[in-house]
Structure 1
């Protein structure tokens, strides 16, 4: 299914899962607006633009930077993308932050940061998406399979991602009349630099042991699901899809 003449905005879109999603959508003809948070990611952004435009000269790829923890910053991003591309058809939000600590060790500043990044930004990205996306558009947020886990240590992480399920369900009802679908994808622990700083060797081995094949979720396992949801899988709506090789289920 072609995405020619469609515009996809991917937040956190220049590294890891976000970059892999861009690689899945580019061959279908989608033009790409790729967001990154900090200057440290600029070399990755430039390299990805070169890679994608060299392989797919028929598409336009632009990059945008900014901290998306305020509604004004999110609105500025969407306005810039709309001005550059004239429209937005697909929004994929991969922004997230992990913290593995017992509740008794979590500071108020850490709590505020987790909810600003994982919950507040997701809410206002969905709000802006609902405002800017074309009829028939697609809104997707990456959450976590820990939403279905019974475990300690990740309370602030899973807890700050949990509201996104409710945002997804509620918004999907509100925009259904426009043919816009709203879904969340819940990967298992992913084999990226995002994962390892929180985990020791024993924990990594345990996480691997809980899924098929004894390995962590790979970005290549998740990006095709995004492609499916924005093409043939359009009938999914208001759902959280647990894609984790059996790591958790409910």
Structure 2
């Protein structure tokens, strides 16, 4: 069934940053399956983004790929321009782009901290600013936080700090959009089996993280995409919240 904009009776449109891989790609495919036209935003290699578009189209959906550095105001504005030119507007923004560089606070290279801050914090601010200006009435903005802000795992200090900033921006933007009928929420995944999460982790560490949840497994991208789908569609009374999708870890 096609998801339509109630005001114009046209298909709803989603912009998904980080949509070429990991949770972002699965979220893009889920939203396309929900009937939204999807703009898959990527920052580097176009091949995975085109693969995501092809997968969506093969499943009967509609999508395009657009390159944009989420921390670059001009490129993000052009991303939204492309969405509006191709599909007529933007109803949903899922900001899944982000990086995670781990080390204890005393050992983390400040260049890595600055890189995470640029992408995770400035990127959320830049994308959020365009979303606040462009998303149509009845729309939704979904940011990506992390359960590590509560779990407080060693070596995650800098990464968790960037996601704490995402939480603050999410809660405040929801109030700043008063009267617009636009919801703003964040999804905070727990340990999830993605390349980003599993990279460099010894098997013993992965086993420990697996057992943290009462469900005794890692999350999957599909688990997180289900929450994104809920916030992007039927969850009109959920607003200004950080939803912890972590299988009960906290």
Q: TM-score range by the shorter chain?
A: over 0.9
Matched position secondary structure for 1:141: strand
Matched, 1:237 2:243: no
Query: Is the counterpart of residue 45 in structure 1 residue 57 in structure 2?
Result: no
Query: TM-score w.r.t. structure 1 length?
Result: 0.93
Residues 151, 18 of structure 1: alpha-carbon distance in 2 compared, 3 angstrom cutoff:
closer
- Give 3-state SS (helix, strand or coil) of 2:20's partner: coil
Alignment-derived partner of residue 147 in structure 2 = 145
Q: 1:15 aligns with which of 10, 13, 21?
A: 21
Structure 2 distance, partners of 1:63, 1:220, is 21
Q: Which stretches in structure 1 are left out of the alignment for 5+ residues?
A: none
| Counterpart for residue 3 of structure 1 | 3
User: Which structure shows the bigger proportion of residues in helix conformation?
Assistant: 1
Distance in 1 (alpha carbons) for counterparts of 2:106 and 2:163: 19
Pairs within 5 Å for 1:6-85: 6-39=12-45, 42-56=46-60, 59-85=61-87
- For the residue of structure 1 that corresponds to 2:178, the secondary structure is helix
Per the TM alignment, residue 148 of structure 1 is displaced from its structure 2 partner at its CA by 0.7
Q: Structure 2: where are the runs of 5+ without partners?
A: 5-10
d(CA) in 1 for partners of 2:247, 2:129: 31
What is the match of residue 136 of structure 1?
A: 138
Secondary structure of residue in 2 paired with 1:194: helix
- 1:92-116: per-residue Cα shift (whole Å, max 9, x none)? 0111111210111112211110111
Q: Match of 1:10, SS? A: strand
Deviation at 1:2, TM superposition (A): 4.7
Tell me if structure 1 keeps the 8 A contact 2:215–2:248.
no
8 A contact 2:146–2:190 mirrored in 1:
yes
Are the aligned partners of 2:53 and 2:64 in contact in 1 as well (CA < 8 Å)?
yes
- TM-score by length of structure 2 reads 0.93
Provide the C-alpha distance between the structure 2 equivalents of 1:2 and 1:52, rounded to a whole number of angstroms: 14
1:210 aligns with 212
Native 8 Å contact 1:92 1:140 kept in 2: yes
Query: 2:184: which partner in 1?
Result: 182
- Whole-Å Cα distance in 2 between the matches of residues 27 and 80 of structure 1? 21
CA distance in 2, matches of 1:179, 1:190: 31
